[in-house]
Chain A
Amino acid sequence: MQVYDWQAIVKDHGPAVWQTAYRLLGNRSDTADCFQETFLGALEISRAQSVRSMSGLLVRLATTRAIDKLRQRCRREKYQGIRQEASLAGQDEGDPSQHAETEELTLRLRVAIGQLPAQEAKAFCLRYFNEMSYREVARELEITTGTAGVLLHRAKTRLRATLEDERAEIDEVSP
């Protein structure tokens, strides 16, 4: 009989869950909420059904919760609110202009992910942030590999278009 030691699970998978949420949210407060909701959700799921891969479940739950929070934040605060929260992270880098450019880029990517359809956003994050294969993405989202490929293609196309448009607007504004 399989036994779950949640103290060990938090210790082993906590950093991965934290980084998964922090990549998408970019601030500690929302990441802490997402971290807590992820493990509590995993506890409920493990009580209801058998878990094939605890690490996969935790990453999927963290990605889902983080995307939900990101979408809620996008709707609530628009672009300006996210900019203010996210700009507080990573201030100890060397070049201020490089730091500002990196901050701008990450913020624009997060906003663009928050505006994607939920399933496309999940597939994109699992594939490119958590470095899962197409098959693993399909298994975690309970879809076929072909559908996962279609979702990833659409997500990349939308994100590229969004980033390109925003870069063009910035280039037009700046001298």
Chain B
Amino acid sequence: MSEERDILGQAIDAVKRQAADSAPPQEVVNKVLAQLPAAPVPAATPGASSIVPTPRRLSFVARWAAAAAVLLLAGYGVGRISAPRQPDIDELRAALLPSLAASLEPAIRQRVFEEATQGYQQAMVTGYVRLKDEFTEQYRADMDRFAVQIFAASNSVTNQLLTQLVGAVEKSQQQDRQWITTALEEIEAKRAAEATELGTALVRLAAHTETQFQRTNDIVRSLANTKPETTTPNTPQIETIN
């Protein structure tokens, strides 16, 4: 039994000796100190239940501070009324100021710090939202302006191109009309020339026909005046027409 106790006792002593000279490294201490409050922090009241400061807790502290102030003022008033002589205001103030400051200052400082922190956070959030809205509006306005400019520029370019297209179409039509007019004039000239040539040919044909008719007539007349020497019975006798 004593040996067993010795084993456990030896182990405990060895562990104690091993850790006897060890001390926290300064960087570990500094790291811990950086995460702890730098200023002295008032201890929690026994009734406090929340670890994180809340508005309810702050109002609770404020109510206690106000109640303490009211009690002090009431005591001061009662003492002044019941006092046989007028107390020295400066002396009383000097007596009350340290205790009042000691009791109220940490709570007030803590509350002011919390409110300032909350105010800064709200201001940062509000500023961020406002800045985001302003940037969004500015971006939309710029995009609208660019869109209008691009639309106007595209309209002018489109109009110019349409004008050029209309001019080209009109020029092409005018050229086509000129070609058609020229072709019609050529056809008309050719038709007139052919008509003239046809008339001339007809006159020539008429003259030639008359000449031939006259010659035929002369031949018939000469034949009629001519009497054959032997006549055959079956041969009809040609009579002169005249």
Where the two chains meet, the residues of A that have a C-beta atom closer than 8 Å to any C-beta of B are: 1-7, 10, 14-15, 17-19, 22-23, 26, 28, 31-32, 35-36, 39-40, 43-44, 46-51, 89-90, 102, 105-106, 108-110, 128-129, 156, 159-160, 163-164, 167
Contact = CB atoms under 8 A, between A and B. Distances in A.
B12 A39 contact: no
A5 B39 CA distance: 7
Given A7-B33, A15-B23, A50-B43, A90 B18 contact: yes
Interface of B: 4-5, 7-8, 10-12, 14-20, 22-25, 28-29, 31-33, 35-38, 40-46, 48-53, 102-103, 106-107
A110 B43 contact: no
A108 B12 CA distance: 11
A49 B48 contact: yes
B18 A1 contact: no
Contacts of A28: 25
A32 B28 contact: yes
A47 B44 contact: yes
B28 to A, nearest CB: 5
B23 A1 contact: no
Given A3-B41, A3-B42, A22 B19 contact: yes
Given A3-B106, A35-B28, A36-B35, A19 B11 contact: no
19 contacts: A1-B107, A2-B42, A3-B42, A5-B40, A6-B37, A6-B40, A6-B41, A10-B29, A10-B36, A32-B24, A35-B32, A40-B32, A44-B51, A47-B41, A48-B44, A49-B46, A49-B48, A109-B14, A163-B8
Nearest to A48: B51
Given A23-B15, A50-B44, A163 B7 contact: yes
Centre residue among A4, A15, A156 by max chain B CB count within 10 A? A4
Contact of B8 (A89, A90, A159): A159
